């Protein structure tokens, strides 16, 4: 016996398909008795509504899509986890796709999700081809952007100020006494979070009267971070502190330092960004910046659902990024 349809249920319960549909979607609009008959039929046939049919007829999918750069590390895991839970609680399914930090791939994924009829979209960062936003606007598809604070009024963003956070990091490192600072940051192209962090740090250095900040771009793996740090530590004047665009890079930098026989933080301070699990277990534990993962996830869920249901565009939200002092930052040795 193939998958049962609404019609099978109707036949089984001795009613029309319309009644079955009502019994499912608006149980109050159906007599108690018939409702029970329908429910029984559904159970015995173990009927599940066909998604395609539902989507086609109701023009809604109860689905929200999210495109994140990667699932390979824990950076987006927490936010996603909370997002998923919050949506599930409202009967909405989350579809997750990844872009591998790649522009074209992200565009394709957005289109794929839109094509699947998602009722709303969660995106990371605001930097992407305008054509995408045009498409979303044209379809009046609600979307919310996480991890940044400036949608320049055009977008609903739920995040934090990467620029300000990076400035804070530099300030703290400066306050600890460091004057020779370098930075490792994720590839900037198409990644406004990385870019803003680099920019903020650069400007803050300038404001503090430090020499131009040396910034090395790196891809997003532990090994890449290690390699970048090794470059920094082997060529040119050696910094006393390295600021990293995320915790994975920072962990890599710790490796590089250790291999060169440098003690962290005595010989070299290293600061991370994100505060993922990993930041607590490195040795020394990473001094880093805590990103409001869970709050972003929860708020994103609420906002996108509000928007979908009320058809009213919600406001942007800016959370604070929090300085987390552990043990990888110390005053420089004399």
Nearer to DNA, 2 or 153 (CB): 2
d(CA 21, CA 4): 14
Q: How far is the CB of 320 from a copy of itself (least distance, A)?
A: 22
Stretch touching DNA by CB under 7 A, among 4-12, 122-130, 175-183, 271-279:
4-12
Q: How far is the CB of 91 from DNA (least distance, A)?
A: 12
Q: Which residues contact 253 (CB under 8 A, 6 or more apart)?
A: 184, 225, 226, 228, 229, 242, 244, 270
Nearer to DNA, 47 or 174 (CB): 47
DSSP 148: -
d(CA 180, CA 14): 81
Q: Are 62 and 51 in contact, with CB atoms under 8 Å apart?
A: no
Binding mask 38-67 for DNA (x = CB under 7 A): ---------x-xx-xxx-xxxx--------
Which partner from the list DNA, a copy of itself, none does 70 bind, CB cut-off 5 to 8 Å by kind? a copy of itself
Closest to 303 measured CA to CA, from 64, 30, 73: 64
- Structure-block tokens of residue 82: 């909370």
Please count the residues of this chain forming the interface with DNA, following the rule CB under 7 A. 30
Asked, as a colleague might, if the bond just before 284 is cis with ω within 30 of 0, I would say yes
Q: Phi and psi (nearest 5°) for 45? A: -85, -10
d(CA 162, CA 246): 12
Q: Is 281 in the site for a copy of itself (CB under 8 A)?
A: yes
Please count the residues of this chain forming the interface with a copy of itself, following the rule CB under 8 A. 56
Question: Would you tell me which residues interact with DNA (CB under 7 A)?
Answer: 3, 5-7, 14-19, 21-22, 24-25, 29-31, 33-35, 47, 49-50, 52-54, 56-59
Question: Would you tell me which residues interact with a copy of itself (CB under 8 A)?
Answer: 1-3, 46, 48-56, 61, 63, 70-74, 77-78, 80-81, 84-85, 88, 93-98, 100, 111-112, 114-117, 131, 134-135, 138-139, 222, 248, 251, 254-255, 277-278, 280-283
């Amino acid at each position: 016996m193939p998958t049962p349809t609404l019609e099978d249920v109707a036949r089984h319960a001795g009613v029309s398909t319309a009644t079955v549909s009502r019994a499912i979607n608006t149980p109050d609009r159906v007599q108690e008795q018939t409702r029970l008959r329908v429910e029984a039929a559904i159970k015995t046939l173990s009927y599940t509504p066909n998604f395609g049919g539902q989507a086609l007829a109701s023009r809604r999918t109860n689905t929200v899509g999210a495109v994140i750069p990667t699932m390979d590390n824990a950076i987006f895991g927490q936010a996603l986890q909370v997002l998923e839970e919050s949506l599930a609680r409202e009967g909405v399914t989350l579809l997750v796709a990844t872009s591998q930090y790649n522009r074209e791939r992200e565009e394709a994924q957005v289109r794929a999700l839109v094509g699947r009829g998602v009722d709303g979209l969660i995106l990371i960062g605001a930097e992407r081809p305008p054509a995408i936003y045009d498409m979303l606007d044209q379809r009046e598809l609600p979307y919310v952007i996480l991890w940044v604070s400036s949608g320049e009024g055009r977008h609903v963003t739920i995040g934090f100020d990467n620029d300000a956070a990076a400035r804070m990091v530099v300030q703290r490192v400066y306050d600890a006494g460091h004057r020779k600072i370098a930075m490792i940051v994720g590839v900037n192209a198409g990644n406004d979070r990385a870019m803003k962090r680099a920019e903020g740090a650069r400007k803050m250095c300038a404001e503090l009267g430090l020499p131009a900040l040396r910034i090395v771009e790196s891809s997003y793996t532990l090994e890449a971070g290690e390699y970048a740090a090794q470059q920094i530590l082997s060529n040119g004047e050696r910094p006393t502190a390295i600021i990293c665009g995320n915790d994975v890079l920072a962990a890599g930098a710790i490796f590089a330092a250790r291999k060169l026989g440098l003690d962290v933080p005595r010989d070299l301070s290293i600061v991370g960004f994100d505060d993922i699990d990993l930041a607590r277990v490195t040795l020394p534990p990473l001094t880093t910046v805590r990103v409001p993962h869970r709050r972003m996830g929860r708020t994103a869920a609420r906002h996108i659902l509000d928007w979908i249901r009320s058809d009213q565009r919600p406001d942007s939200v800016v959370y604070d990024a929090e300085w987390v002092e552990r043990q990888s930052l110390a005053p420089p040795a004399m």
